[in-house]
Amino acid sequence: MDWFGFVVVAIVTLVGAGFVVVMYSLGVRLTAVSGDDETKGHVAAKWGSYVCFGFCALAVALGIVLIVPHLSQPFLDMVGHWF
């Protein structure tokens, strides 16, 4: 068994899951703050919540693309053309 690969997958899984949880909870918190009043700071909180939810959705979509074999190869080919 490749223990180094196992450790890498475990660490990436923990970091990825933590990132999704932090982005979602921060988005929920900013949504609650933005609902209090319609001042300039609360508008920034609303846009911040949209950004947090966007990062959360992007991380989930990237995870699905990397897991599903029919989606991962075209994605990796596309990324290979960019770099």
Query: pLDDT > 70: what percent of the chain?
Result: 94
The reported pTM is 0.77
Torsion, Cα 40 42 45 50, to 10 degrees, reads: -90
Q: How far apart are CA 33 and CA 14, in angstroms?
A: 28
Q: How far apart are CA 62 and CA 31, in angstroms?
A: 24
Domain-by-domain residue ranges, the chain?
A: 11-82
pLDDT, tens digit, 9 for 90 and up, residues 15-49:
999 999 999 999 999 999 887 766 667 888 899 99
Buried b (16+ CB within 10 A) or exposed e, 7-30: eeeeeeeeeeeeebeebbebbeeb
Q: How far apart are CA 23 and CA 3, in angstroms?
A: 30
Q: 24 versus 83: which is more confidently predicted?
A: 24
